[in-house]
Chain A
Amino acid sequence: MSPDECSFRPMACELNYLSNSDGSAFLKQGETVILAGVNGPVQVKQTKSIYNKATVQAVYETKNEKRLAGDEGQLIRLCITKTCESALLTSLHPSTMIQISIEELEDNGSSLACILNSSCLALINSGLAMKYTFAAVCCMIDEESNNIILDPNTLQLKKAKAVFTLVFDSVKKELITCQSSGSFKEEELLTSIKKCREAVHHIFEFYRDIVKQYATAI
């Protein structure tokens, strides 16, 4: 499948955007823009310290006040933390903390997928050891035509019957994180997963291109 067939919105990224973070990424997927920074390993509060591995903490800021104050922000934070934790080799840095800060600058659909992709790029940029990289794809099922649309924008999302955010690892391309809304049949889920899995390697390729741009020595 070519990038056009997958119909991803154009992606653009800049690494090392922030000077005071250990790793940072500024990612644009269509009109959705996310800024991610990673700090770590840093000192951790006694109450949050885990003796045999690093604590992963996510900070999520958005201008959407309803989302920030409500429970939704909390669920997004959980999603970022757990996904990054699964990819990072946290046992290398016991009793420390790895902090991932996300700033949502613009949201035009598929924001969770963009958040996760930018945090992965920031983690790559920070040089922390990881088991695998991960890539998130947002896809929706159209209410009328039952078509699967990848990387939808806000306008398309209004007509969605179901929306999924699926995260795959780079090694086996298996599902790390999954979040859904709306109701859907089992077959629809399985075809969506299949389609996203085929499309996800474009994102991994995109990661590789970006890192190549910044790798001056090799």
Chain B
Amino acid sequence: MEQNSKEILPARYLNDHIKADTREDGRDFLSFRPVSVNVGSIKNADSSAVCRIGNTGAVCGIKAELGPPHADAPDVGIILPIVELSGLCSQRFRPGLPKEEAMCIAKIVEDILISSKAIDLTDLCIHKGKLVWILNCQIMCTNADGAVVDCCIAALMAALKNLTVQKVEYTPESNEFKTDPVERVSIPLKQMSIRTSFALLKDDLLIADPTSFEEDMATSILSLAYNEKNEIVYLHKPGGDPISDTLLKKAMSKAKSHTEQVRTLISTAQSTVEKK
């Protein structure tokens, strides 16, 4: 019965919940869904992580390849985030060509990586102008139930924190390189940034960590990413209803405390892997 009313009268379904001071999954307006992270689950990748935020899930695998750097930046490595929203993660997506939404997410992920200076790209350089590491970060969404980008970022950060690459010996004279199959070097993650989303429902009601149903009903979506120094590295609000400064400040303080929790969670997940 409840399911029917959600599909037939979504606005009323949402209103009924707001009136009862709750949300469809029983959360408070400004509380987040449980987050879980698992590091190193894919053995074929150089580093990998799985992240879940409520029902939303994302898998990130990083493959490091050797290649020549860009001509205009010869001493830095390359990070290529690729985001895939396949048909299996939500009924909104159909299999086939890359979707506009996936391209936007890939750009947002890239922007956050650059803005937060998550990885010092010079660490990826083996020999200037000749050989650098190219990190292919493939992120796959397994279930899109709101806050997909947050989940992608968390998975990517967890994977980057765990990243090791093969040791390379490069001889500039002969332009040859040799990789060491056993010994691995870790690439340090300088700043771990975590992104949190908020949705603005009608009558200026701010809710944290919206589900996909709430995202559809929202008048506006706001997202913030914080780094370890409590600086904002990304603020994104694409259109929608105007937001007042008070709500923005409220969102900022909530995001900051949640970011701290997720960061501790990822570090804990990381340390359990190291013990093994």
Contacts and interface: CB of A to CB of B under 8 A. Distances in A.
A binds B: yes
Interface of A: 70-72, 74-75, 77-79, 81-86, 164, 168-169, 172, 174-186, 189-190, 193
B237 A175 contact: yes
Given A168-B242, A179-B236, 16 more contacts: A71-B103, A74-B103, A75-B103, A75-B108, A79-B238, A82-B238, A86-B240, A86-B241, A176-B240, A176-B241, A178-B236, A181-B115, A181-B234, A183-B116, A183-B227, A185-B230
A74 B232 contact: no
The 5 closest A-B pairs by CB, nearest first: A82-B239, A174-B242, A71-B107, A82-B238, A74-B103
Task: Find the residue from B227, B235, B249 having the highest chain A CB count within 10 A.
Answer: B235
Contacts of A79: 238-239
Interface in B73-106: 100, 103-104, 106
B36 to A, nearest CB: 28
Interface in B216-254: 220, 227, 229-245, 248-249, 252
Interface residues of B, number: 34
A65 B153 CA distance: 27
Given A79-B238, A82-B238, A180-B232, A72 B243 contact: no
A183 B245 contact: no
A178 B107 contact: no
A78 B232 contact: no
B10 to A, nearest CB: 13
A180 B240 contact: no
Contact of B252 (A178, A180, A186): A186
Contacts of B103: 71, 74-75
Contact of A177 (B104, B107, B227, B239): B239
Contacts of A177: 237-239
Nearest to A194: B245
Task: Find the residue from B115, B231, B237 having the highest chain A CB count within 10 A.
Answer: B237
20 contacts: A71-B106, A71-B110, A74-B100, A75-B104, A78-B238, A84-B239, A86-B240, A86-B241, A86-B242, A168-B242, A172-B244, A174-B243, A176-B240, A180-B234, A181-B111, A181-B114, A183-B227, A183-B229, A184-B231, A184-B232
A162 B123 CA distance: 23
A183 B232 contact: yes
A216 to B, nearest CB: 33
Contacts of B117: 183
A122 B235 CA distance: 27
B239 A85 contact: yes
B240 A186 contact: no
Given A74-B104, A75-B104, A174-B243, A185 B232 contact: yes
A140 to B, nearest CB: 13
Contacts of B233: 182-183
Contacts of A75: 103-104, 107-108
A176 B104 CA distance: 19
A190 B245 CA distance: 8
A168 B244 CA distance: 11
Contacts of A71: 103-104, 106-107, 110
Nearest to A185: B231
A84 B240 CA distance: 9
Contacts of B227: 183
B239 A86 contact: yes
B182 to A, nearest CB: 37
B257 to A, nearest CB: 13
Contacts of A172: 242, 244
Contacts of A184: 231-232
B108 A183 contact: no
Given A85-B239, A86-B239, A78 B231 contact: no
A191 B112 CA distance: 22
B217 to A, nearest CB: 14
Contacts of A190: 245, 249
Contacts of B243: 174-175
